[in-house]
Structure 1
Amino acid sequence: MCRHLAYLGPPRPLADVLTEPAHSLYAQSFAPRLQADGRVNADGFGVGWYPPEDGAGPVRYRRAVPIWADANLPVLAGLLHSGAVLAAVRSASPGTSLDEAAVAPYALGRWLFSHNGEVQGWESLPHDSEEELSAAELLSMEARSDSALLWVMIARRLTAGEPAAEALAEVVRRTRGARPLARLNLLLTDGHAIAAVRHGDSLWYRQAGDQVTVASEPVPGEPDWQEIPDRSLLLTTQRTAEIAPL
């Protein structure tokens, strides 16, 4: 399992999103409160952000070390600003690779993606003729992991022009049809909107003024956090939010 978050709003230091809040993503790496499986998230971390310049990004910074072990992050997080961020701390599933290429966020064009959960037996996940992945698509997988496979399946739909929410919902439907016990909490953003799926673990969101945050765990004492129902899809911008059952 992992913990992750996405933020849209006024540009602010990455530290305001990652490390400064009470029970921040940084704190969730070693003391998660709502995590269904695993006690720490020490197998790497990643941050993707869109620089304030129009059309820039996304940029990624990923490491295969615990977030607390990276001496560069506090300085970078204090200096870099963004109005759109997706970040994750990782607890690797058995049988997946442990290098930084396996750490979210994954990227394609303006898209950033993260998966919190596990797909058991992902190496032999059956595909029908419509879903059969080409050799080129399989070779494009950044890492040996269930998350990387899900991303290839989602990215092919985005490339074909499917809306983000439809791409996530269809991949979740097909995956849970083959692996009913799969845990599939997903975050996807293009820097303007966030599409998220809760399927098997905690996921919350908060809209406040002109900003929105979607996260595995809420900030204690901060008002207006709302829990996303299990097996639901959230589509949100800075000022709008729509939740639908999967």
Structure 2
Amino acid sequence: MCRHVAYLGPEEPLGRYLVTPPHGLYRQSWAPRRQQYGTVNADGFGVGWYAAGDPLPARYRRAGPIWADLSFADLARVARTSCLLAAVRDATLSGADGEAAAAPFASGTWLFSHNGAVPGWPDSLAPLAGTLSATDLLSLEARNDSAFVWALVLARLRAGDDEGQALADTVREVAEAAPGSRLNLLLTSGDSITATAWGDTLWYLTTPGHGTVVASEPYDDDPLWREVPDRTLLVASRTDVTLTPLKEPGETSAPSPTLESTRAGGPPSSKEPRT
């Protein structure tokens, strides 16, 4: 379900990463190449981006398919940014939330997207509702699994967790409550990209002078694209990508991780585990 992409690097038009590539997010809305669940992502789309001098992102979201929105083509051609997060949606279940259900979700400087599904929603995650405040629950942007997962992540971020810890702990908690969940999460605050690969495809690309892209699937055939192993946390800057294994539910200690750091323009290199 869904495809998403995040970019961090030199200022570029939105279309450079969403529309222009031969297999960009625009085309992935009707012809994804690596999507394992669902075939057409026509249940809404959205893009969030950061303008120079403003730490709060702008968002453009719609309930229909991206190819039917002629205004988006103009926006993508002229709006420029050094960081974006965008998604096209294949709804898990039908609903009446319209564009409110389309990623990216937002709060403060953060943008968030969920590629996947939670089996048994909403019953499977009902026990986790008690971990959120009444304000958190009443502030949900939409009544779907992705918006609820975002609320869980956001509660951790507001409590002081860093982005990686917030995503990793949320994935583990949701996977334990709803086994078989697909939880590819994507988060940015404008100066980094954090993501999880859990049950679906995730790729990244770093190139000299062009920053870092993290996406559900490659938007072209550049040989520098690298696939992220399943059950992995990714943290990216403009020049580096670090991969760390994620714990399975019920696992008390993670295997000794080898953190793979990729510098733009260079091959992956192994690092000793951090302690």
Q: Give the TM bin, normalised by the shorter chain.
A: over 0.9
Output aligned runs, 1:150-189, within 5 Å.
150-189=149-188
- Which residue in 2 is equivalent to 1:217? 217
Match of 1:194 in 2: 193
Note if contact 1:92-1:98 (Cα within 8 Å) is conserved in structure 2: no
Unaligned runs of 5+ in 2: 247-275
Could you tell me which runs of 5 or more consecutive residues in structure 1 were left unpaired when the two chains were aligned. none
1:80 maps to 79
- Stretches (4+) displaced over 6 A: none
What is residue 206 of structure 1 aligned with on the other side? 205
Deviation at 1:95, TM superposition (A): 4.6
Query: Per-residue deviation at 1:97?
Result: 4.0
**2:130 is aligned with 1:104:** no
How far, CA to CA, are the matches of 1:174 and 1:38 in structure 2?
Answer: 25
Q: Distance in 2 between matches of 1:187 and 1:179?
A: 20
State, as a whole percentage, how many aligned pairs show the same letter.
51
Q: Secondary structure at the match of 2:206?
A: strand
Deviation string, structure 1 residues 163-196 (Cα, Å, up to 9, x no partner): 0000000000000011111000110000100000
CA contact (8 A) 1:23 1:219 kept: yes
Partners of 2:55 and 2:93 lie apart in 1 by 36
For 1:104 and 1:15, how far apart are their aligned partners in 2? Answer: 17
Higher relative contact order (CA 8 A, sep 6+): 1
What CA deviation, in whole Å up to 9, does each residue of 1:16-43 have, x standing for no partner?
0110011010000000111111110000
Going from structure 1 to structure 2, the CA distance change for 1:197 and 1:97 (only over 3 Å counts) comes to farther
* 1:13–1:77 contact (8 Å) kept in structure 2: yes
Q: Which amino acid aligns with 2:239?
A: R
Q: Deviations over 1:50-74 (max 9, x none)?
A: 01x2234300000001000001011
In the alignment, what sits opposite 1:11?
A: 11
TM-score, normalization by structure 1: 0.96
Native 8 Å contact 1:120 1:182 kept in 2:
yes
Which has the higher mean CA deviation after the structures are superposed, 215-224 or 70-79? Answer: 215-224
Contact preservation (8 Å) 2:21, 2:220: no
**Partner Cα separation in structure 2 for residue 88 and residue 220 of structure 1:** 17
Q: Give the drift of 1:90.
A: 0.3
Give the greater-gyration-radius structure (CA): 2
**1:114-133 alignment to 2 at 5 Å?**
114-124=113-123, 125-127=125-127, 132-133=131-132
Question: How many positions carry a matched residue from both structures?
Answer: 244
- What's the C-alpha RMSD, in Å, of the aligned pairs? 1.3
1:128 Cα deviation (Å)? 6.1
Task: Report if aligned partners of 1:126, 1:178 keep a CA contact under 8 Å in 2.
Answer: no
Q: Residue type of the partner of 1:231?
A: R
